[in-house]
Amino acid sequence: MAKDLAPGQLLARGVMRCLMEHGFACLPEVVPKPGLRVDVMALGRKGEIWVVECKSSRADFTSDRKWQGYLAYADRFFWAVESDFPTEILPVETGVILADRFGGEILRMAPETKLAAARRKLVTQGFARTAALRLAGQDPSGLSVFL
């Protein structure tokens, strides 16, 4: 399995496992608006929305020109990096998750900037539709509408 996944996708796997342990439902590779793709979006039991960007290297981080655009779609924003990543270069106003392909832990909690109600509604609906449509395409229970 692993050989088919990019380093960032492997990190996303560990991140999702970590966040599920914190009670979140997670979805990888979510597009909240055209041209913007977040690595992991997570929805908590109280409706809180977290976004995590996975960075496999310093170069992967420094070449990212889009991350500030993600802030408008999350109550809290985190980076996920491996343990050898120089975390001191990450902006102090963001959260940090140490992860590998097998799991992760929250190293620094992100500050909370609550989404406005209208934005939250749209993001939650988009998350819901994306998850259900993906599920319909690959549900092995026999209920899949495409099979």
Least Å distance between CB 11 and a copy of itself?
11
Please give the residue ranges that form the binding site for a copy of itself (CB under 8 A): 1-2, 4-5, 9, 12-13, 16-17, 20, 25-28, 43, 45, 47, 121, 124-125, 127-136, 138-140, 142-145, 147
Query: Based on CB atoms, which residue is closest to a copy of itself, 82 or 90?
Result: 82
Decide whether 34 or 59 has the Cβ nearer to a copy of itself. 34
Q: Which two tokens stand for residue 127?
A: 């998350």
Residue with smaller CB distance to a copy of itself, 70 or 127 = 127
Residues 6 or more apart whose Cβ sits within 8 Å of residue 129: none
Measured from the CB of residue 126, what is the shortest distance to a copy of itself in angstroms?
9
Sign of CA dihedral 65, 90, 118, 48: positive
- What's the distance, Cα to Cα, between the start and end of the chain in Å? 24
